[in-house]
Amino acid sequence: MELKTVETPHVPVRYLTGGSGPALVYLHGAGGVTAADPLLAELAKSSTVYAPFLPGYGDSQECAELRDMLDITLHYWDVVAALGLKDPVLVGHSMGGMIAAEMAAVAPGDVSRLGLICPAGLWLDDHPIADLFSLLPYELPQVLFHDPEAGAKAMSSGLNMEDPGFLQTFLVQNARQLGMAGRILFPIPDRGLSGRIYRVKAKTVLVWGDSDRLIPPVYAQAWKRALPNAELVSVPEAGHMITIEKPADVAAALSRLG
Amino acid sequence: MKFTWFNLMPWPDLPEDFREKHRSVWVDIDQRLFDPVRSHEVYNTYMDLLEYASTVGFDGIGVNEHHQNGYGIMPSPNIIAAGLARRTSEAALVVLGNSIALYNPPVRVAEEFAMLDCISGGRLVAGFPVGTSMDTNYCYGQIPSLTREKYMEAHELIIRAWTERDPFAFNGRYNKLRHVNIWPRPIQQPHPPVHIPGGGSVETYDFCIDNTYSYSYLSFSGYLRAKALMQGYWDRVAQRDAPDTSPYRAGFAQTICVAETDEEAERLYWPHISYFYNRCLHVYPGFADAPGYRTIKTIQSGALSQYAPPRGGYATLTWKELVEQGHIIAGSPETVRQRMEDLIKGLHVGNIFCLMHVGDMPADKCMYSTRLFAEKVMPKLRNMFPEHADDDRFWCKPLAKRVTPGSLPAAPMTAPQTVGA
């Protein structure tokens, strides 16, 4: 994966790109994405992948002007246009899935293939989603992974917790990334998508891990009800970070979009 | 010097094993620990104590705003202040303050503060905190990274509502109001003095300097640990070429306990101090600082939430540690005077928010400590900054002639005569 920059009306956007084949735009979740992401590697086998960072993620510039769901939805359409893409396969994980679904709802004629990996954006009163923002780092693996122990290792790889500057670096990154994510996810990740989702026309594949403890599989059923023609692929032994735990299964499911 | 007697209003009945059995004193505190019947007595005692403080020589009595909080049962400080406005006559009413980003629309604050100023005859000192992350983000659902922008807009709206004399349209990002025209408006002109509680944000330093507001640091960890933060403020005041370095540009909250001797102080107050420091401050660290609430600049300056867990985790603090580390200033009047002098000089602060009711302290002990401080300590600290004695920019200016509440004429038994008819 290569890291590049594209200019958009609000802010220069950093994005990862690689692979060959039809264009696929991948929108990352609230935890961000790296060049080493195993799902991007899987997708790159048969697609030209573009994974733009939400402003504030990775080393990308923040953008104060993007304040709400509509701002961010239109911003990503600006990114697609700036990349010179027309009707790419649009895939999003978690927060990215929420944004991808919004993009497909506001511009249904511009998206014909949509891949939603355990997306945020709907809310069920009987199944409140955990408050991601108040979770402590050591509590995250339990919520995010089917195998918390392996997940904890994956999350801490590359981090040097012995470094005295670690806490500050960690807090700055959190403030930049989750600060931005909070604009559409805090305190409840529902910005009214359920009222607009009927507009989505794209062929849609939903992918969900059976052990997702952040957005539990009961939400897959809610998405199925909202998008009756969508195909739901459930993956055993995968948590919310199914993109790391079962990248090949996710890529196989998404390949059904054609 | 201005001394304000402050009561956080802690719930006095948190169980002994609170820290072990409960995750947090704030945000998701166990609803069952609150007893509304018991609170009837608690609230009235706490208000009585504030009123008592106003009779023994304190310049102000202070209240603040917290939500879903076991050590601060005062979600609406304005309700308490309204009660105090009627039952006190001299003391400043220091409302420190209203978290203005939480009010929709914020003209509500302009209105309520104006009412308090009018009812009290110009005794209001107004505070505009951003509010802690617990209150603002986790209890009241404000988006962390937009909180400050919303706060700044609310501030602009309130000041304009207080100072403009014609109705105006306010087309803000968070507030769309076609006809802003508050009735009543405050007695104090151009508006009541403003204090801004802050926790080390560079942006807040500048905001105070630019607007001639007093910067107050409401910490529970005492004056020794506050040194770096307050120095940061004074450095900024110098850097920004503020016209003066008046100590009234700053305020500090300090837990204070006075007895006849140091030994008596420990014997009388230790259980209540321990209750507060070892039980009330038990906040789930996940609620301390929502990502995006603090600016990058502030995090990089090293200012972390005072509710973040201390390095090495929580330990039970002893009296000796609390006193030596300056969390609390406690002891005989002479001990307290010396320590207070160190605080006032060391931090260069003219406004002291005296936390004199602590934890589950009963009324009699609180009154004893309060009276000793007022009679034996306060007078000796009065003239710490003689060169700034006439700086009245940061304190209220009450009407010279004020009415006495409850001064109705005798109930007329026949139709009153119409004057001039």
Residue A14: CATH number of its domain: 3.40.50.1820
At how many degrees (to 10) do helices B77-87 and B107-120 cross? 10
Beta strands B194-198 and B176-180, pairing class = unpaired
Q: Cβ contacts (< 8 Å) between B295 and chain A: which residues?
A: 175
Chain A contact probe: residue of B143, B153, B314 with most A CBs at under 10 A? B143
- For residue A15, the model assigns a pLDDT of 98
Where are the alpha helices (H) located in B276-384, listed in sequence order? 296-300, 319-324, 333-347, 363-372, 378-381
Q: Cβ contacts (< 8 Å) between A178 and chain B: which residues?
A: 291-292
Min Cα distance A182 → chain B (Å) is 6
Residue B315 lies in a domain: yes
- As for how many domains chain A has, the answer is 1
B67 Cβ under 8 Å from any chain A Cβ: no
Beta strands in B88-239 (DSSP E): 92-95, 124-127, 168-171, 176-180, 194-198, 214-217
B15 Cβ under 8 Å from any chain A Cβ: no
Residue B177 DSSP class: E
Min Cα distance A171 → chain B (Å) is 7
Residue B397 lies in a domain: no
Q: Do B291 and A135 touch (CB under 8 A)?
A: no
Residue recorded with tokens 């508050």? B182
Choose among A168, A179, A187: nearest Cβ to B291: A179
Q: Cβ contacts (< 8 Å) between B292 and chain A: which residues?
A: 175, 178-180, 182, 186
- As for how many domains chain B has, the answer is 1
Q: Do B141 and A134 touch (CB under 8 A)?
A: no
Q: Do B141 and A187 touch (CB under 8 A)?
A: yes
Chain A contact probe: residue of B140, B299, B301 with most A CBs at under 10 A? B299
Per-residue burial over A17-51, b if 16 or more Cβ lie within 10 Å, else e, is bbbeeebbbbbbbbbbbeeebbbbbbbbeebbbbb
Mean pLDDT of B24-37: 97
Residue B395 lies in a domain: no
B305 pLDDT band, cuts 50/70/90, is low
B372 pLDDT band, cuts 50/70/90, is very high
Residue recorded with tokens 């509502």? B161
Return residues 110-169 of A near B (CB < 8 Å).
Answer: 131, 133-136, 139, 168
Residue recorded with tokens 């080393």? A59
Distance CA B201, CA A154 (A): 34
Q: Cβ contacts (< 8 Å) between A177 and chain B: which residues?
A: 291
pTM of the entire structure? Answer: 0.95
CA distances from A142 to A129, A151, A235, B10, B390 (A): 14, 8, 18, 35, 60
Residue B398 lies in a domain: no
Q: Do B291 and A139 touch (CB under 8 A)?
A: no
Choose among B146, B286, B302: nearest Cβ to A134: B286
- For residue B75, the model assigns a pLDDT of 98
Least Cα distance to A101 among A195, A31, A188, A193 occurs for A193
B101: left (phi over 0), alpha (psi -120 to 50) or beta: alpha
Judge whether residue B117 has pLDDT over 70. Answer: yes
Judge whether residue B295 has pLDDT over 90. Answer: no
Residue B94: CATH number of its domain: 3.20.20.30
Judge whether residue B200 has pLDDT over 90. Answer: no
- For residue A137, the model assigns a pLDDT of 87
Among all residues of chain A, which has the CA nearest to that of B295?
A175
Q: Cβ contacts (< 8 Å) between A187 and chain B: which residues?
A: 137-138, 141, 143
- For residue B308, the model assigns a pLDDT of 60
Mean pLDDT of B337-352: 98
Average pLDDT, chain B: 94
- For residue A166, the model assigns a pLDDT of 78
Residue B415 lies in a domain: no
Q: Do B292 and A187 touch (CB under 8 A)?
A: no
Among all residues of chain B, which has the CA nearest to that of A67?
B146
- For residue B374, the model assigns a pLDDT of 98
Choose among B137, B285, B294: nearest Cβ to A175: B294
Min Cα distance B154 → chain A (Å) is 17
- For residue A171, the model assigns a pLDDT of 84
Min Cα distance A174 → chain B (Å) is 6
Write the pLDDT tens digit of every residue in B234-283. 999 999 999 999 999 999 999 999 999 999 999 999 999 999 998 999 99
Range of the domain at B131: 2-388
Judge whether residue B312 has pLDDT over 60. Answer: no
Range of the domain at A51: 2-257
Mean pLDDT of B54-80: 98
Handedness of CA B372, B373, B379, B380 (dihedral sign): positive
- For residue B303, the model assigns a pLDDT of 64
Mean pLDDT of B193-202: 90
* Full pLDDT tens readout for chain A, 258 residues: 999 999 999 999 999 999 999 999 999 999 999 999 999 999 999 999 999 999 999 999 999 999 999 999 999 999 999 999 999 999 999 999 999 999 999 999 999 999 999 999 999 999 999 999 999 988 999 999 999 999 999 888 777 767 777 778 888 899 999 999 999 999 999 999 999 999 999 999 999 999 999 999 999 999 999 999 999 999 999 999 999 999 999 999 999 998
Q: Do B296 and A187 touch (CB under 8 A)?
A: no
Strand partners, A24: A49, A89
ipTM over 0.90: yes
Q: Do B287 and A179 touch (CB under 8 A)?
A: no
Q: Do B290 and A186 touch (CB under 8 A)?
A: yes
Judge whether residue B109 has pLDDT over 90. Answer: yes
Return residues 169-188 of A near B (CB < 8 Å).
Answer: 171-172, 174-180, 182-183, 186-188
- For residue B71, the model assigns a pLDDT of 96
B315 pLDDT band, cuts 50/70/90, is low
Q: What is the 3-state secondary structure (H, E, C) of chain A?
A: CEEEEECCCCCCEEEEEECCCCEEEEECCCCCCCCCCHHHHHHHCCCEEEEECCCCCCCCCCCCCCCCHHHHHHHHHHHHHHCCCCCCEEEEECHHHHHHHHHHHHCHHHCCEEEEECCCCCCCCCCCCCCHHHCCHHHHHHHHCCCHHHHHHHHHCCCCCCCCCHHHHHHHHHHHHHHHHHHHHCCCCCCCHHHCHHHCCCEEEEEEECCCCCCCCHHHHHHHHHCCCCEEEEECCCCCCHHHHCHHHHHHHHHHHC
B285 Cβ under 8 Å from any chain A Cβ: yes
Choose among B145, B173, B296: nearest Cβ to A182: B145
Residue B413 lies in a domain: no
Choose among A64, A67, A133: nearest Cβ to B290: A133
Residue B113 lies in a domain: yes
Min Cα distance B149 → chain A (Å) is 10
Choose among B137, B146, B299: nearest Cβ to A172: B299
- Cβ pairs A/B, distance under 8 A: 66
Q: Do A171 and B141 touch (CB under 8 A)?
A: no
Choose among A168, A183, A187: nearest Cβ to B300: A168
Q: Cβ contacts (< 8 Å) between B287 and chain A: which residues?
A: 134
